[in-house]
Amino acid sequence: MSKEFNVVVRVLNTDLKGENVVVEELTKIKGVGPTLARAILHRLHIPINKRVGELSEEELNAIVDEIQNIASRYPPYLLNRRFDRETGEDKHLIGSDLEFTITRDIEFEKKIQSWRGIRHRLGLKVRGQRTRTTGRKSKVPVGVRRKKK
């Protein structure tokens, strides 16, 4: 009665290690966070401490189907693209679609020269963090001068 254990499982163009716990490995899929991973496993009645390599083919297919249809099955606060700028609808993007949309949004903000777009263009912090002492990219200390001999 021994089941086959998979060392590496491929789910939505992401390799998941078979010896790790399902809830942690699902977060490696771009667009799936810890809260959403727990919600998916709870809805599918899969234990969160089960190993990825122990999942059956039916469970893996159910997880893939659930991730691809997140927008229609979960409340809007779990989605990563609420009130889309172009269509106005709630979406959930996964993988390369998410990366492409984020890049397109940043380029749009640069184009309209919003505050965030200007900060992105200059390579500075965007979300209001302090920049006096943190976020320095050069190795030269700023604000400390040595006395010349």
Residue 126 CA to residue 128 CA, distance in Å, equals 6
What pTM was estimated for this model as a whole? 0.78
Q: Where are the domains of the chain?
A: 8-77, 79-122
Sign, CA dihedral 41-7-64-1, equals negative
Chain centroid to Cα 67, Å, comes to 13
Which of the four pLDDT bands, split at 50, 70 and 90, describes residue 93? Answer: very high
Domain 8-77 has CATH 1.10.8.50: yes
pLDDT digits (tens, 9 = 90+) for 2-54: 478 888 999 998 999 999 999 999 999 999 999 999 999 999 999 999 999 99
